[in-house]
Chain A
């Protein structure tokens, strides 16, 4: 019992730390994806690439297309991360098909931050998960630890790279590039605790889901209309 108590005390430290050493860190922002609105145009992926100089063949955000056939088969694709839009589906008896935009979930309890051996991945005061490019050793442990495939080693900088929710824009009061260019309002970004903010209101009132809740990371990207097939 004493042993397990000690282990529990040790293991729970990161969570404690997340609150204690954060200098009053709150998870100020949230992101809501409405999968029923997304048309898979890929504008968001292009805007992200342009805004953040994301290298070719890597993605800070991408769009997945799910196609559920009548026989129960599920096909998922995301050619070029959905950046060039989706090609038509020409086969089979389809029950339903829909798009799911993905990005870093800026989790409350992020695995990536826990495993970074040098503390280069951290959570900002606003709750945004960031990477210190000048400190990262490029070991890739955070990439292995992320359950969402949201991280990659940037082939130009050789450090871990990921969505920052366009932190450089957010601190100036702007929205992330992907949210700004979305023509149908499928991506929304705002303050979690502000009821006057549409995102704050949604998070409070709507029935939202998160990806892989069983991981215990407490994502701050919420999904509206998430299908059971989405992982």
Chain B
């Protein structure tokens, strides 16, 4: 069985099988989308970027939907998922991983609270206008608080502001922390860099903005509504800005590793040449970095028709989503493809079926969109098109 795994050079016998699978690639990817989506929502709620108002609610719900499923890949991976809560019941605080349950729970609570306060006027309005079981549903969702007076809404707004302000560092902590899980492992030279948490955070933000752009565009097509071009333009600009920082950090990390020429460098070079040539050199650092970097620059700075700008922006966003996924893949899988003997490489190809296979990954990744769809049936993700859509 394991002998069938293609290896080159000498790999320690217990390292032939790659342990952290596609599920562990998906976990930081989904977590990153949470962080990015929340940052967009906060740019409106905290920093008053009015142009992002059309996606402010949507981004908040997207953050929540992705957050709901951020842990599920881990459960599919764990040897004993039924013991998952040991991480909170008997935490070993010297472990970087032990804080995950608490950080995740705290962040989930903040997002849930913010959603409730942001959507409270909608809940109350629908509770008042609906009848029968729906009225009960909305009344329950309102937690019985039906006060939508000006004063009450003003207090809601203030609380939302505070929650969003707490949420920003929480989002950054959540994803920086995921990077720290890898960056703090001194046993693995491909992971062990203090830059890892920052790179994870920046790539999280860009992937979150990119997924919002793509989703917003597709949803508007499905809803047959016009997109808000001002909003999209603002998102392209933020995407470009964060992407520049992200790429700079990734490049600096690569440069530092190459320049230092440490003992592990030849093994890492071999890894990149042999096993990560496509996913790292061509996808992550090549096509999916260069094209969005250049094209988004034009999109952000040059005058062009809305249609052209949106098409280019959409392509760049899709490429960035691939870039970030490739980055997660290259970190998680790549880090396990070279032996700690520094003398050999192993290989990995996810199965389609199976607990940690591609099908499960696709289903898990689709679930947040199902959540958003269901949410939209109950409460509006977007403002009425008459008020907001201008494009």
Contacts and interface: CB of A to CB of B under 8 A. Distances in A.
Interface of A: 13-14, 17, 57-59, 62, 64, 74-78, 81, 102, 111, 114-120, 135-141, 143-153, 157-159, 215-216, 231
Given A115-B97, A117-B97, A118-B98, A147 B340 contact: yes
Interface string B94-108: 111110100000000
Contacts of B90: 118-119, 135
Nearest to A133: B80
Contacts of B150: none
A14 B91 CA distance: 14
Contacts of A136: 79-80, 83
B10 A78 contact: yes
B187 A139 contact: no
A145 B97 contact: no
B77 to A, nearest CB: 8
B80 A159 contact: yes
Contacts of A144: 19-20, 185, 187-188, 335-336
Contacts of B91: 117-119
A135 B289 CA distance: 43
B83 to A, nearest CB: 5
A75 B8 CA distance: 11
B186 interface: yes
Interface of B: 1-3, 9-10, 12-16, 19-20, 74, 77-81, 83-84, 86-87, 90-92, 94-98, 100, 181, 185-188, 335-336, 339-344
A231 B79 contact: no
Contacts of A120: 86
A141 B83 contact: no
A119 B86 CA distance: 9
15 contacts: A57-B3, A58-B14, A64-B10, A76-B10, A81-B13, A115-B97, A118-B83, A119-B92, A137-B84, A137-B86, A144-B19, A144-B20, A151-B14, A152-B14, A159-B80
Given A137-B80, A140-B79, 19 more contacts: A57-B2, A57-B3, A58-B14, A59-B13, A62-B13, A76-B9, A78-B13, A102-B12, A111-B186, A115-B97, A118-B87, A118-B90, A136-B79, A137-B83, A140-B19, A141-B95, A144-B185, A145-B185, A159-B80
B87 A117 contact: yes
B339 A149 contact: yes
Contact of B15 (A149, A157, A158, A216): A149
Contacts of A141: 95, 97, 181
Contacts of A152: 14
B92 A140 contact: no
A113 B181 CA distance: 15
A35 to B, nearest CB: 16
Nearest to B24: A140
B343 A117 contact: no
Contacts of B343: 74, 76, 231
A102 B97 CA distance: 28
A144 B15 CA distance: 10
A183 B12 CA distance: 24
Contact of A138 (B15, B79, B339): B79
A153 B24 CA distance: 16
Contacts of B81: 137
Contacts of B96: 115
A80 to B, nearest CB: 8
In order of increasing CB-CB distance, the 8 nearest A-B pairs are A138-B79, A149-B12, A158-B79, A119-B92, A76-B10, A117-B97, A147-B187, A118-B86
Nearest to B16: A57
A8 B5 CA distance: 42
A175 to B, nearest CB: 23
Given A149-B339, A215-B187, A231-B343, A137 B95 contact: no
Nearest to A83: B13
A144 B3 CA distance: 21
A135 B83 contact: yes
A228 B98 CA distance: 37
A115 B20 contact: no
Contacts of B20: 140, 144
A146 B95 contact: no
Contacts of A14: 94
Contacts of A119: 90-92
Contacts of B185: 111, 115, 144-145
